[in-house]
Amino acid sequence: METIMNTESIGTEEYVARSAGTEAAMRVRELSVSYDNKETLHKITTEFPKHCITSIIGPSGCGKTTMLLSLNDLIREIQGVKVEGEILLGDKRTDAIPQEELRRRVGLVFQTPMPFPFSVYKNLTYAPRYYGNHNKKDLDRIVKEKLALVGLYDEIKTDLNKSALKFSGGQQQRICIARALTVEPDILLLDEPCSALDVRSISVIEETLLRLKSQYTIIIVTHNIAQARRLSDKVIFLKDGRLIEEGDAAGLFREPKEAETREFLRGIYG
Amino acid sequence: MHIRGLFTKIWAYTGIIVVSVVIVFLFAFVFWKGGSTITWEFLSTPPAGLVLGSEGGILPAITGSLAFTLTAIVIGAVPAISTALYLVFFCKSRRMESMIHLVIQCIAGIPSIVLGLFSYSLFVRDLNFGRCILSSGIALGIMVLPFIEVRAEKTFRELNPAMIQSAYALGCNKTHTILTVVLPACRGELFSGIILGGCYAMGATAPMIFTGAVAFASNPTSLFEPAMALPLHLYLLVAQGHTSLDMAYGTAFVMMAVILISNVLVTMYARRRQREWKQ
Ligand SMILES: Nc1ncnc2c1ncn2[C@@H]1O[C@H](COP(=O)(O)OP(=O)(O)O)[C@@H](O)[C@H]1O
Ligand SMILES: [Mg+2]
């Protein structure tokens, strides 16, 4: 718990220090998304600073998942979706980047841990192999490195050939995070990654994310305000598909400017 | 309210019991009647006798049925699974989707004898294939196509979308994802759908009688020759009346045994895969 408290304050200072100078890893301008002509996101404009953790919070159904899926274009796999506005990765519009490259550079971890029904080893080498890496030594190194990054290597190094589905929920979720990292993304999106997990796994995953942020830009959707407080450098509050308020985490949680944000935060605290 | 619940319960249990009894009785009856006919000779020799089939065995009918079934499975399953993949993973237009569903339902609604007639006039006559395993296999393949497609589509749709999207999110393209994640994850269910479709084809007589199944033939060696088939053989034996009735029960026994065993094996296989990879 203590480490988490510490990192929170460090994270905040980092954000304040950087937000003046650092460029955004990703930017969104006037993004609107509709399902079957029902507009779900309305003209969202925001940015995600590099090497920071940005949390997206808001009541359920407000469009958080839709937002994440838009960022790496997975939204287009859904029937009847229309996307307007622009999304920039670095300073390039995402629609000018080949879809597969975009998805490789913007990884996504889902709400329920979803390893492939193979062994852990095969899960982690799945993507590198797809990109043509068949060097056994190299693959072994990747598996070890990425599992170590999520703090799992020592825990499961003897079970690499076991089905990934046989591990606990928390372990599976970390396997999924490690798998997402095997393609060296710039940005890691996480959609309520802890909502199906127990308290202990949650704190392990939070530590993992805090460790990862020095190498990756992280965007996390969470319905857990306490978690957002512990992790975030920046917070974005959505409601009914509109961006109500955004800002650095410490400031926003201490004194939210908008009445709706206050209400939401108060509602959660009871 | 309580009474109504009780009534529903009684109703349900009675239903289960009646159905189970009928099924068990059916199997027991056939196995009891046919069991005594089953000898190694019956299974391993061709039919013989003055009235054909009153003596000898049913070997060419077994091998013939297997040949028809295998051909039907290949011809039916490939387009069926492709269609299911297209509908679930590629089709973006709802209209196209419902149109394809309509077509599939129509195929499922075609009486099998009409499929036989179609195959007869197109393949046997016009394209000059003659009566052969392939002509029947096509008719049977069309017959099992909707059967396999519906099951395959259901399996694909039940797959957690997040699993597929996880692969997309790694930058993998659809084809690769389908080949390496979807198909392996669904292997058990697909396999069982195909085998059950095969059992369905094995029991069907109508699509074969004009197109490839004959009263007597030797073991099949090529797709372009006619062959014997268990259900047709059974029909002919019964049609001959008393002389061959025991043989008919024996044939029925073999057919039901093949189907039952396939079903059990497939269920076991699907279960084992499930256990291997899931909790
Ligand atoms: N595939 C879909 N088709 C139609 N509507 C959808 C779909 N996915 C989400 N929606 C709708 O969009 C809104 C936002 O959903 P979502 O982004 O999942 O919210 P959140 O993740 O914040 O709970 C909801 O009202 C939901 O009903
Ligand atoms: Mg959601």
Report whether pLDDT(A19) > 80: no
pLDDT in tens, chain B (279 residues): 678 888 999 999 999 999 999 989 988 888 888 888 888 888 888 888 877 777 888 899 999 999 999 999 999 999 999 999 999 999 888 899 999 999 999 999 999 999 999 999 999 999 999 899 999 999 999 999 999 999 999 999 998 888 898 999 998 989 999 999 999 889 888 999 999 999 999 999 999 998 998 888 888 888 999 999 999 999 988 888 777 888 888 899 999 888 889 889 988 888 887 776 664
Interchain CB contact of B98 with A (< 8 Å): no
pLDDT for A5 beyond 80: no
Supply φ then ψ for residue A46, to 5 degrees.
-165, 180
Instruction: Assign domain B38-278 to its CATH architecture.
Output: Orthogonal Bundle (1.10)
Residue carrying structure tokens 């274009």: A73
Whether residue A72 lies inside any domain: the answer is yes
The domain that holds A256 is classified in CATH as: 3.40.50.300
Provide residues of A within 8 Å CB-CB of chain B: 72, 74, 77, 79-80, 100-108, 110-112, 114, 116-118, 126-127, 130-131, 163, 165-166, 176, 179-180, 182-183
pTM of the model: 0.80
**Highest-confidence segment of A132-136, A148-152, B21-25, B78-82:** B78-82
Is residue A169 assigned to a domain? yes
Residue A50 — very low, low, confident or very high, per pLDDT cuts 50/70/90? very high
- pLDDT at residue A11 in the model: 44
Res B246: pLDDT = 84
Is A270 part of any domain? no
For chain A, give the longest Cα–Cα distance.
Answer: 57
Spacing, Cα A111 to ligand 1 middle (Å): 14
Residue A14's domain comprises 7-265
Least confident of A5-9, A161-165, A259-263: A5-9
A148-186: b or e for each residue (b if 16 or more CB lie within 10 Å)? Answer: ebbebbeebeeebeebbbbbeebbbbbbbbbbbbbbebb
Residue A106 lies in a domain: yes
Instruction: Measure CB to CB from residue B184 to each of A72, A114, A117 and give the nearest one.
Output: A117
Length of chain A: 270
The answer to the question of residue A38 being in a domain is yes
Q: A64: Cβ below 6 Å to ligand 1? A: yes
Contact list in A for residue B86 (CB cut-off 8 A) is: none
- Looking at the 3D structure of chain A, how many domains does it have? 1
- Residue extents of the structural domains in chain B: 38-278
- Given a cut of 50, whether residue A100 has pLDDT beyond it is yes
Percent of chain B at pLDDT > 90 equals 53
Distance (Å) from CA A232 to ligand 2 centroid: 18
Q: Residue A134 — very low, low, confident or very high, per pLDDT cuts 50/70/90?
A: confident
pLDDT in tens, B25-52: 988 888 888 888 888 888 888 888 877 7
